Amino acid sequence: MPAHRGNVNCIYADGNYFITGGEDGVIRIWTRKTQELMIQLAAHEKNVFNIVPDINMPNVIYSCGQDRNFNSYDIKSQKRINNHRINNGFIRGIAQKLEKDFEISTFIFCNN
């Protein structure tokens, strides 16, 4: 299936859907069963490096990219909920702790 203009940089998959992030800065959500495009989010200005769904709220996803942005989206409303931007380097990864506060951790790769 043609997924992105350029490379697909990251994929998340579960029993219901695939989420892809690409070199084109777009996040796309596909149905797993039919592989049809459900949602497309113009997420980043550059490469999307990582996508993680929220543990508590399956309708919320997080993404990070080469444009130094860390975003959260509500896929039901298809809107961005929050945005954080770092000044130097860029964010290469996201993880969510399985503790009571479900805190999001980001990993920063500095290009100094």
What residue ranges define each of the domains in the chain, with the CATH number in brackets?
8-109 (2.40.10.480)
Amino acid 74: pLDDT: 92
Residue that is written with structure tokens 């039901």 in the block: 76
Amino acid 26: pLDDT: 92
Instruction: Give the E-state strand segments of the chain in sequence order.
Output: 8-13, 17-22, 26-31, 37-42, 48-53, 60-65, 69-74, 79-85, 90-96, 104-109
The string over 40-49, giving b where at least 16 C-beta atoms fall within 10 Å of a residue's C-beta and e elsewhere, is: ebebbeebbb
pLDDT digits (tens, 9 = 90+) for 23-63: 999 999 999 899 889 989 888 888 888 898 888 888 899 99
Q: Give the chain's mean pLDDT.
A: 82
Amino acid 20: pLDDT: 92
| pTM listed for this prediction | 0.80
Given a contact cutoff of 8 angstroms between Cβ atoms, the answer to whether 21 and 49 are in contact is yes
Confidence of residue 102 (pLDDT cuts 50, 70, 90): low
